[in-house]
Amino acid sequence: MTEKKDNQGLSTRAIHAGSAPDPTTRARITPLYQTASYAFDDTDQAARLFNLEEFGAIYSRITNPTVQALEEKMAALDGGVGATACASGHGAQFLAFLPLMENGDHFVASRNLYGGSITQFSQSFSRLGWNVTFVDPTRPENFANAMTDRTRLVFTETLSNPGGLMVDLEAIAKVANAAKVPLIVDNTLATPALLRPFEWGADIAVYSTTKYICGHGNSIGGVVVDSGNFQWDDRTPALTQPNSAYHDICFADNFGPLGYTVYGHAVGLRDFGPCMAPMNAFLTLTGAETLTLRMARHSENALALAQWLETRTGVTSVSYAGLLGNPSYQLAQKYLPDGASGVLTFCLDGGYEAGKAVVEGCKLFSHVANIGDTRSLIIHPASTTHRQLSNEDRTLAGAGDEVVRLSVGLEDLDDLIADLDQAIGA
């Protein structure tokens, strides 16, 4: 269980949470525990570990000290009680849903999501019998209107990818709370450095740590963070009914606020195996230490670049929540007072072909399918990340034919402007 240290600042937690000196070697940096398994003290201790009567390392698919350090850091940053790290952001979404959904259950999700999430929810999750209704998140009542007696959760991105739509998180949380279902939020774009969802009523947060948490484009990962606040009931039998694989223990009763997180490890990672590699956890731990500094610079550069793009001939519109006049501006002032992150989109006169041409014309911006790197990145979503969607769904998700997405890095602003200027001019 993660000890909450509310008296410590966010930058202090980013550096120190989960990263005490190694108890054996006294190494100050969390070591890379590149091991598959761990020696038991004796057969009795091994039995207690397998029975969940004692917490400890058994096998790195379920627990690993390097991964655990990252889990503790992420829980501390969000103010949660526990976390489960896994192989990717999509793995995190799967593990987040697993304890809550049964065959035939339903959930309500924002339609303004990363294209891969829309496909995961509508295609792959539907094969498991997990049914979704997508709604316009700008009207919180839409979530309530879409609910059925089988609805088990509400899902939204806090700041949408790629459109940069800021949702009214507090209002959506009230809708979920009134229906007595948990609100799960993808907080990848904002990160805990800019927005801590539990402070606004969310129950569970998921992240692609590949993005800003790691911040250097060198490792894939995801994490689920639990606030520990939601009271599970008979609508989530995986947590509230006896589990025969563990001698009929009940996760919610046996582990209290940690029940959801323990289930994520003991069942989710054990049975489906989407564990985070220790090396990826090690790299992500290193990146997370500078999260607050990086997010401030990402936001500063992105705002300045968005303001410049508004004045550039050939650009028909710019979408960035930090821009005065943007539809999300007022909500961003409420939820993101320290900056609106580093992702923005802009539309070009010339549509689909113009978008592709500008992407190919950039020399400093890297053309890759990622965000949250120290390097500035550019992509044309309609031909890449969102191409699996219909034209209508792409437009609704903020990824129409004419849209170009930028992940603004930490370079000098003048160099970023010069590169975009020559690409647009060409």
Peptide bond into 278 cis (omega under 30): no
CATH number of the structural domain 10-100+182-288: 3.40.640.10
pLDDT value, residue 3: 46
**H or E stretch including 183?**
strand 183-186
Q: In a 3-state reduction of DSSP, which class is residue 400?
A: coil
pLDDT value, residue 329: 97
pLDDT value, residue 156: 98
pLDDT value, residue 387: 62
| 293-425 carries CATH number 1.10.10.10 | no
Q: Cα separation of 57 and 52, whole Å? A: 11
Side chain identity, residue 297: R
Q: Report whether 265 contacts 68 (CB < 8 A).
A: no
Q: Report whether 37 contacts 63 (CB < 8 A).
A: no
Half-sphere exposure of 105 (CA within 13 A, CB side): 19
Q: Cα separation of 111 and 96, whole Å? A: 19
Strands (E) located in 307-410: 315-319, 343-348, 366-367, 377-379, 403-407
Task: State the sign of the Cα–Cα–Cα–Cα dihedral 52, 53, 55, 59.
Answer: negative
Q: 10-100+182-288 and 293-425 share one CATH topology?
A: no
Residues of the chain with pLDDT under 70: 1-6, 384-391, 393-399
* Other C-beta atoms lying within 10 Å of the C-beta of residue 257: 17
Give Dmax (Cα) for the chain. 73
Q: Domain segments of the chain: what residues? A: 10-100+182-288, 293-425
End-to-end Cα separation, the chain, in angstroms: 55
Structure tokens that stand for 306 in this block? 């968005």
pLDDT digits (tens, 9 = 90+) for 124-182: 999 999 999 999 999 999 999 999 999 999 999 999 988 889 999 999 999 999 999 99
Structure tokens that stand for 99 in this block? 């304890």
